Amino acid sequence: MTDPVTLTRTGNIGLICIDNPPVNALSFAVRRGLVSCITQADADSKIDAVVIWADGRTFPAGADITEFDRPPIEPALVDVCDHIEGCSKPVIAALHGTVLGGGFEVALGSHFRIAAPGTRFGFPEVLIGILPAAGGSQRMPRITGAGPALDLMIKGSPINLEKVVALGLVDRVSLGDLKEDALNYAAEILVDKIPIRRVSERSDGFADQAAYTAAIEATRSKMLAANSPLFAPMRILECIEAAAEMPYPEGRILEYEKIRACVEHPQHAALVHAFFAERKSVKFPEAGRAKPRNLAKIGVIGGGTMGAGITVAALDAGLEVIMVERDAQSIARGKENVAKVYQRHVDKGRITAEKMDAVMARYTPATGYELLGDVDLVIEAVFEEMSVKKTVFTALDKVLKPGAVMASNTSFLDINEIASVTSRPDDVIGLHFFSPANIMRLLEIVIPDKVSDETVATGLALAKMMRKTPVRSGVCDGFIGNRMIAKYGDVASHLVEEGASPYQVDAAVREFGYPIGPFQMSDLAGGDIGWAVRKRHAKTRDPKARYVPIADRLCENGWFGQKTGRGYYIYENGSRVGTQDPEVLAIIDAERARAGITPRSFTNAEIVDRYLAAMINEGADIVHEGIASCPSDVDVIKVYGYAFPRFRGGPMKYADMIGLDKVLATIHKMAEQDPMFWVASPLLVDLVAKGKNFDSLNKG
């Protein structure tokens, strides 16, 4: 294996080059190489200054996350950064790409920093439940003070070069070839005899001590008020607070103690799982077998909330869009739905009016299919009814050019049946967006029986253009996400029928980490949506299956949730925050009495156990049936589309963490009460029998 870090010499400047694709992560060999090259350069009398440069697309994007679950190997990254800083000759970091986490810390360990335009900087450690622990939490505030460091490290989102320069974190912007400019900068430092500036010895960031303390206290109060369940952010704050209170050598010890606590916390493992799950989900087998077709112009059928959201996502991706509605009035509304998204951007100063005009110039409204003859792909987002979908696909089949991809945004219906009305089922695919489609990152790509690899690869290419997180799903009622929600939604209603109030169920689910509970969600989405689905299923529902009619009673009263001012909660004067409704509780009482149920009390833990056991069991069945390719895909769907708390990794990861035997025990216990509803998934039973977990199915 070749060394990923090398030292060469250009004149009297040593050039350390890191070459560890894809993102130059600071794995063991890179750390060892950096230490060794700095030592060599320091000892080499022909070298007077050193440039650290990285080949490929980026300066190191951080520590190597794949190493986190292995025993640590020396040298630790913090020692590498200190070693760089300790070099007796000027060290210049030449930065490009995404300078993140440990990469940023290597840069701050260097004495000078030069960066190429477009470089992004950040400390995303918090997103994997840890903190910058290679001296970053101690060095950055020494330059910037507390505010910017708190902001960057607690949010975890990257910032651009302009901001970094303004904060004093980068000394020079390269306007030509970065490597050459860095070498010239090093030469200049030598000629001008600019003294070495070690960040760990600086204190300019602490000059305004009052401002420093105020920033810490303001952030602490905000965090305590928000009552966030996340573990790492408060540890980050403690590190930044300590930076001003102790010399660097002590600060880095504290930083080490804090990261140890983070690493041992279950949130870290869950968040690392979420990180890799997201990257795994995009790897569809079809993409390896076929190339995507060209995508420049697409059609969207329907201008409602979904159609307009998809249109905005497509326009944002740089595509031309033809939106089709059935008549002049509907298309006018569709156009308005699209325009108002951009108008809001203009009003908030995010884009100029000219930019909005330029984007809208790529949008064409239409009331017929005639203009769709040359589009590369069509997404149908019409009413969720099989006959309506079939009419649309029959019409599209007549006008689309050969090779145009025909996608349905259905969230429940059988795409094989939709494809069957066309002469080209190989071009038909499901692209299930989540509302608001221009914001939600999840895209379920549903794979019907006859779809071609090329069509799937094109769907994936669209997801990439739209910056979506795509997950592969087989065809079944509700696909992965909605099929699961149907199951645990039933459990929520069972719990209410048995004695919990909807408000307690919501509170228990929020306590687990969801932003809102299932009944708040129903009020937000509109109770009529679930009602329509239940009516559709009524004909095929087994009369012996448990059915809780409480939601129907509310809908019969016209209480559909926020949009009608009343659902499970009351929403006074258009408020989006509901208050509890005694009349709802009375309806629930009446329904319990009708069902002959004597209500009992539940603990929040009992509610969550049952709710999640149903979710996990359905997820296991979905994997068992091959609808999901692996358990981590189920996790991605739930985290990105259904607000499952990311810090718990997803339902399948959560199950692994609490123990599958515990989940199975809950299911068996519930089956004693309702054996028809609670059937343990064969996959879950099998894994428990073999002492394995869901993660064992994620490999490969």
Q: Which residues bind ligand 3H9 (CB under 6 A)?
A: 22-23, 25, 61-66, 77, 98, 100-102, 105, 124-125, 128, 132-134, 136, 279
Q: Which of 298, 333, 303 is nearest to 316 (CA)?
A: 298
Please report how close the Cβ of residue 126 comes to ligand 3H9 at its closest, in angstroms. Answer: 9
> Shortest CA distance to 486 belongs to which of 537, 433, 539, 440?
537
CB of 69 to ligand 3H9, least distance (A): 12
- Within 10 Å of residue 113's Cβ, how many Cβ atoms? 26
Do 146 and 124 touch, CB atoms closer than 8 A? no
Element (H, E) at 8: strand 5-10
Nearest distance, CB of residue 100 and ligand 3H9, angstroms:
4
**CB-nearer residue toward ligand 3H9: 127 or 492:** 127
- Round to whole Å and give the CA distance between 280 and 698: 9
The one-letter amino acid code at 123 reads F
Q: How far apart are CA 638 and CA 634, in angstroms?
A: 6
Please give the structure tokens belonging to residue 585: 């509780």
Compute the C-alpha angle 172/178/180, nearest 5°: 105
Per-position DSSP letters for 604-630, written without gaps between them: HHHHHHHHHHHHHHHHHHHHHTTSBSS
C-beta of 280 vs 592, nearer to ligand 3H9: 280
Query: Cα separation of 628 and 571, whole Å?
Result: 38
Work out how close the CB of 624 gets to ligand 3H9 at its nearest, in angstroms, rounded to a whole number: 26
For ligand 3H9, the closer of residues 68 and 677 by Cβ is: 68
Nearer to ligand 3H9 among residue 25 and residue 495 (C-beta): 25
Cβ atoms of 571 and 562 closer than 8 Å = yes
C-alpha 254 chain-centroid distance: 30
Q: How far apart are CA 405 and CA 445, in angstroms?
A: 13
Which runs of E-coded beta strand occur in 41-117? 49-54, 91-95, 98-100, 112-115
Paired tokens of 446 = 């549903």
Give residue 643's region: left, alpha or beta (phi > 0; psi -120 to 50): left
Q: Which residue, 70 or 544, is less far from ligand 3H9 as judged by CB?
A: 70
- Reference 251, options 263, 241, 265, 264; nearest CA is 241
Q: Cα separation of 29 and 480, whole Å? A: 41
Residue 531 CA, chain-centre distance (Å), reads 30
The secondary structure of 469-486, three-state, reads: EEEEECCCCCHHHHHHHH
Q: Do the Cβ atoms of 151 and 218 come closer than 8 Å?
A: no
Q: How far is the CB of 16 from ligand 3H9 (least distance, A)?
A: 19
Provide the token pair at 39: 């030592």
> Alpha helix locations (H) across 87-206?
102-109, 136-144, 146-155, 161-166, 178-191
CB nearer to ligand 3H9: pick between 232 and 456: 232
Tell the smallest beta-carbon distance from residue 275 to ligand 3H9 (Å).
7
The helix/strand/coil state of 312 is helix
Q: How far is the CB of 273 from ligand 3H9 (least distance, A)?
A: 12
Task: Compute the least distance from the CB of residue 577 to ligand 3H9, in Å.
Answer: 34
The structure tokens 């004495």 sit at 111
Q: Which residues are catalytic, by number?
A: 105, 125
Judge if the upstream peptide bond of residue 645 is cis by omega within 30 degrees of 0.
Answer: no
Tell me what percent of the chain is helix, strand and coil, each rounded to the nearest 5: 55, 10, 35
CB of 369 to ligand 3H9, least distance (A): 37
Q: Which is nearer to ligand 3H9, 76 or 339 (CB)?
A: 76
Q: How far is the CB of 98 from ligand 3H9 (least distance, A)?
A: 4
Per the omega criterion (within 30 degrees of 0), is the bond before 75 cis? yes
